[in-house]
Amino acid sequence: MKLAGSMAEARAMAQGRVGLVPTMGFFHEGHLSLMERSASECDRTMVTLYVNPLQFEDPADLARYPVDHERDLELAAAAGVDVMVIPDPAEMFLEAPLTGVSVAGIGDRLEGAYRPGHMDGVATAVTKLFAGLQPDRAYFGRKDAQQLAMVSRLVHDLGFPTEVVGCPLVREADGLALSSRNVLLGAYREEARALSRGLLEAARLFEDGERSAAAVEGAVRNALPPGALDYAEACTAAAMEPVDRLEGEVVLAAAARFGAVRIIDNVRFTVDGRGAAADRGVWLDRPSVLYDADPAGADPAGGR
Ligand code: PAF
């Protein structure tokens, strides 16, 4: 695996069909599955590792975001990555840019409403990476369903010649959706399982024939301790618009806070001419590589 310190350097290493996995590092099996998928489908797989300050509305959240480049490089090399791009912050957003990208509607709701500036920060960073690296394909996990919907629309609207590939959400063995932030949960780890428990209960209701959005949203709300839930909302997978009935491609997206850590998760429902299916993601059958590391800046008590 080669290292690139700028996008120009990375572009010079491109060859054939280029697959890009944009990340903020501290890899887990969700990231690694995107890298492996790209490596199996593309001639060159590039991973960007950049903790994008534009998408952190809370400086304390940015400060505690786990970082371990050495560990990330080892994991990425083993996953078949060809080029690891760690851009110099000066090339990215050391200074706040005067130009920003926002995707109206998709970027305003849910995460956009609860984390002002977050979705625009993601859209601006992804646009910059796509412009600088010009990948043929870009791989995103379905755990960030709203991000996936937003990036797909951004690519369509701005005409990037990049195919956006959505990949399965990966869960830890106990159901918690994998996120680099899970290492920060500390004493809240057990309580945080309530979010996936609620979503999995919603998927069970759906498979038993429930088609009311309010009913599946209620299943998530009921699973959570008082005050923990930010939102549980059924919305269209492409535009993230709220729905009343579970028809077509619907994402039941949810976010909750446990101590100082906020996590998101979702399940996906499809109802079409061929029938009905719930996509809960895939499960790890072993402890995540997340726990092999001691993240710099992690608060073992999760703020408790
Ligand atoms: O999903 C992430 O890690 C980030 O939002 C991304 C896509 C790398 C943009 O900074």
- Per the CB < 8 A criterion, the answer to whether 218 and 252 are in contact is no
Per-residue confidence (pLDDT) for residue 30, from 0 to 100: 98
Alpha carbon nearest to ligand 1 atom 2, residue: 23
pLDDT at 297 over 60: no
Q: Is 23 in the pocket of ligand 1 (CB under 6 A)?
A: yes
Alpha carbon nearest to ligand 1 atom 7, residue: 22
Distance 134 CA to ligand 1 centre (A): 16
Domain ranges in the chain? 2-167, 180-290
Q: How far separated are the first and last CA of the chain, in Å rounded?
A: 40
Residues designated catalytic:
31
Among 115, 122, 165, which residue has the most ligand 1 atoms within 8 Å of its CB, making it the best to mutate?
A: 122
- Per the CB < 8 A criterion, the answer to whether 206 and 243 are in contact is no
Q: Is 52 in the pocket of ligand 1 (CB under 6 A)?
A: yes
pLDDT, mean over the chain: 95
Q: What's the pLDDT tens digit per position in 89-131?
A: 999 999 999 999 999 999 999 999 999 999 999 999 999 999 9
Q: Is 125 in the pocket of ligand 1 (CB under 6 A)?
A: yes
Angle at alpha carbon of residue 104, lines to 102 and 106, rounded to 5°: 100
> Domain 2-167 adopts which CATH fold?
Rossmann fold (3.40.50)
Per-residue confidence (pLDDT) for residue 289, from 0 to 100: 97
Per-residue confidence (pLDDT) for residue 300, from 0 to 100: 40
Which ligand 1 atom is at minimum distance from the Cα of 126? 9
Q: What's the pLDDT tens digit per position in 135-176?
A: 999 999 999 999 999 999 999 999 999 999 999 999 999 999
- Residues in CB range of 215: below 8 A, 6 or more apart: 205
Per-residue confidence (pLDDT) for residue 294, from 0 to 100: 64
pTM: 0.96
Among residues of the chain, what percentage have pLDDT more than 70? 96
Q: What's the pLDDT tens digit per position in 218-267?
A: 999 999 999 999 999 999 999 999 999 999 999 999 999 999 999 999 99
Question: Does CATH number 3.60.15.10 belong to domain 180-290?
Answer: no
pLDDT at 295 over 70: no
Per-residue confidence (pLDDT) for residue 16, from 0 to 100: 98
